[in-house]
């Protein structure tokens, strides 16, 4: 197995100086005009062929600046400046405005629609026919662009040899829209409002302030720059785009339709393309973060579901991978690996797959452990040797590995709808915000907590913790949030991971999920839903987001239970104050099962 450092130790060196760019429309099979930017080395010899990299953009391919684009530089877009770096190393770059967005005409019915993905395939076929292209294509990107890169494989276009999906969602329902069946209201609202501004030709409020000041709108293609007639038509088309927030707000069950589109969230999730991606054999280099939404789980689903060559890296950075987000690090620390090292590793992967025809073999995972420096490498996840360790809820808000002895015991908790994980959490960083989890000692006063005695020795938790709650509620529905935390000798409480589940979705599936997952699987489908019987104890099995964390000697393990996260998720129920009884008896022993690595 290679080490993480080996990934960026020997990248292709810069050999070109400067960039030449042009843009144009490509006409699709149905007449839609798709805007593309083509960026190549300025000094590329006429007879030289180089591989192409593609970015499929939802948030504009490039910006119409109030001043000239810097000469001999790649066109500036709303993303980190990978183009100049990769072009200098010998790659051409093609950046695409997705159908119904940017300067492209047409309508976006839903994210990653079938029409949109088909467009990617047509653009890729066009790229392969260009005289400068060597006949090999890679694709990459963060978030929407990274998920689009993985979906490009499903088009089946020959010549696609390697992709780098970074910080993506694998299952749109579970990973971003309704984790645990609970509407991720803050993110979906902000994302929908951002898209509406972009689709009207205005910079997003999620762009940095300086970027908004210098940007007029989306960059027209070259031939349309004077009249902007096609751009104007595109912006008119975009007004028919589906209102994402309105469509998502009406979804409770996984099989509910997305607006008036006739498709569900499953239909435009990555797992709906499983057979095409698996059959392609195309290598993937996936990146995720333990603390960025569900991107670590998405990376692990790739790792454990697809039997294609894979490299997976899971760190602790914010969504854009530009800053560290570990609660054990000082705020605003640089990421590990650094951005320069990330780009070097990406360039090395593309050189192997697109130039040397030496793609990686097998599967390897590199991951960091929160609270500990350095990186680990594994060929399976959870890693070999992981053992389940059970900790039970006990009297006086304690947590212990001993099974409770009381025949009847429970703790009362009235849901506090002011409880929150803040606005710099794992879900808000996906809105281009910082990722910070400050000391949660004060926040935990609003929650029902269970805390262990100080540990005699350090414990490494690597995998997906699972919490089983035996709970009775005064209401027929509710949102249940569980947090795993580290409490140090000074009483500082550090967030490690979380899980959530809506009460009506509590039934565990009788059938396996459509992908590999380390969590208990709830279908969240209408047929499997049921109200919670008022005052009766029910079992809730809640999988927490995967994590690797070291809880040090003398520290304590804490499990915190909440019924709300007001700054992120929709309130359930909409009115009232549910009174809960959380059982901790021998027969109904609420507990957490931790995947522990021997040390």
Give the catalytic positions in this structure. Answer: 143, 292, 319
For the CA atoms of 334, 335, 339, 345, the dihedral, rounded to the nearest 10 degrees, stands at 150
Give the C-alpha separation, 318 to 437, whole Å: 11
Give the C-alpha separation, 427 to 433, whole Å: 9
Q: Are 104 and 33 in contact (CB under 8 A)?
A: yes
Place of tokens 């690597």: 462
What counts of helices (H) and strands (E) characterise the chain?
12, 25
DSSP 259: T
Give the C-alpha separation, 27 to 126, whole Å: 10
Token pair listed for 509: 């599936």
Sign of CA dihedral 371, 438, 564, 527: negative
Give the C-alpha separation, 544 to 467, whole Å: 8
Token pair listed for 149: 């890169």
Place of tokens 């939404």: 293
Give the C-alpha separation, 133 to 161, whole Å: 13
Sign of CA dihedral 245, 246, 251, 254: negative
Give the C-alpha separation, 468 to 452, whole Å: 17
Ranges of beta strands (E only) in 306-404 are 310-315, 363-368, 375-378, 387-394, 398-400
Sign of CA dihedral 543, 545, 548, 550: negative
Q: Among candidates 244, 233, 255, 224, which has minimal Cα distance to 58?
A: 244
CA 172 to the chain's CA centroid: 10
Q: Are 480 and 500 in contact (CB under 8 A)?
A: yes
Give the C-alpha separation, 298 to 180, whole Å: 15
Cis check for the bond before 551: say yes or no (omega within 30 of 0). no
DSSP line for 222-246: GGGTTT-HHHHHHHHHHTTS--HHH
Q: Which residues neighbour 488 within 8 Å (Cβ) at sequence distance 6 or greater?
A: 494, 552, 554, 555
Sign of CA dihedral 43, 47, 48, 54: positive
Q: Are 301 and 278 in contact (CB under 8 A)?
A: no
Q: Are 560 and 544 in contact (CB under 8 A)?
A: no
Token pair listed for 550: 């070291």
579-583 and 33-41 beta bridge pairing: unpaired
């Amino acid at each position: 197995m290679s080490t993480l450092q080996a990934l960026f130790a020997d990248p292709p060196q810069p050999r070109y100086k400067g960039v030449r760019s042009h843009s144009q429309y490509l006409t699709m099979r149905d007449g839609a005009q798709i805007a593309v930017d083509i960026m190549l080395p300025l000094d590329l010899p006429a007879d030289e062929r180089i591989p192409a990299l593609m970015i499929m953009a939802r948030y504009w391919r490039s910006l119409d600046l109030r001043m000239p684009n810097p000469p001999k530089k790649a066109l500036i877009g709303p993303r980190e400046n990978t183009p100049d770096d990769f072009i200098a190393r010998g790659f051409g770059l093609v950046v695409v405005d997705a159908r119904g967005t940017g300067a492209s005409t047409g309508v976006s019915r839903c994210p990653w629609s079938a029409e949109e993905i088909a467009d990617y395939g047509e653009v890729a076929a066009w790229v392969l026919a260009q005289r400068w292209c060597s006949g090999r294509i890679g694709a990459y990107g963060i978030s929407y662009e990274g998920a689009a890169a993985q979906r490009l494989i499903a088009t089946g276009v020959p010549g696609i040899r390697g992709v780098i999906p970074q910080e993506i969602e694998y299952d749109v329902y579970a990973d971003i829209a309704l984790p645990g069946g609970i509407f991720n209201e803050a993110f979906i609202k902000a994302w929908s409002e951002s898209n509406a501004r972009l689709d009207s030709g205005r910079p997003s409020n999620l762009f940095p302030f300086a970027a908004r000041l210098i940007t007029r709108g989306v960059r027209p293609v070259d031939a349309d720059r004077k009249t902007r007639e096609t751009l104007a038509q595109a912006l008119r088309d975009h007004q028919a785009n589906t209102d994402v927030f309105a469509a998502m707000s009406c979804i409770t069950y996984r099989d509910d339709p997305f607006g008036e589109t006739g498709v569900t969230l499953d239909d435009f999730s990555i797992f709906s393309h499983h057979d095409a991606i698996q059959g392609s054999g195309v290598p993937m280099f996936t990146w995720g973060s333990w603390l960025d939404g569900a991107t670590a789980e998405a990376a692990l689903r790739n790792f454990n579901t697809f039997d294609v060559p894979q490299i997976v890296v899971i760190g602790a950075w914010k969504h854009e991978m530009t800053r560290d987000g570990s609660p054990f690090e000082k705020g605003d620390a640089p990421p590990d690996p650094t951005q320069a090292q990330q780009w070097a590793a990406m360039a090395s992967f593309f050189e192997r797959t697109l130039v040397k025809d030496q793609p990686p073999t097998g599967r390897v995972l590199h991951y960091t452990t929160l609270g500990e420096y350095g990186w680990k490498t594994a060929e399976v996840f959870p890693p070999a040797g992981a053992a389940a360790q059970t900790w039970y809820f006990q009297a006086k808000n304690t947590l212990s590995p001993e099974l409770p002895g009381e025949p009847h015991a429970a703790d009362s908790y009235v849901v506090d709808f002011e409880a929150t994980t803040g606005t710099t959490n794992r879900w808000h960083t996906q809105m281009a915000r910082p990722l910070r989890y400050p000391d949660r000692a004060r926040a935990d006063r609003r929650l029902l907590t269970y805390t262990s005695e100080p540990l005699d020795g350090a414990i490494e938790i690597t995998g997906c913790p699972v919490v089983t709650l035996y709970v009775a509620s005064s209401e027929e529905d509710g949102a249940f949030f569980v947090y795993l935390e580290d409490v140090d000798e000074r009483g500082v409480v550090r967030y490690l991971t979380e899980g959530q589940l809506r009460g009506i979705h509590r039934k565990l599936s009788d059938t396996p999920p459509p992908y590999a997952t380390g969590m208990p699987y709830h279908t969240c489908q209408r047929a499997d839903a049921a109200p919670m019987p008022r005052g009766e104890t029910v079992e809730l099995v809640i999988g927490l987001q995967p994590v690797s964390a070291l809880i040090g000697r003398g520290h304590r393990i804490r499990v915190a239970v909440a019924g709300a996260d007001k700054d992120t998720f929709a309130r359930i129920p909409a009115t009232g104050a549910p009174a809960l009884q959380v059982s901790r008896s021998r027969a109904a022993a609420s507990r957490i099962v931790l995947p522990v690595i021997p040390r």
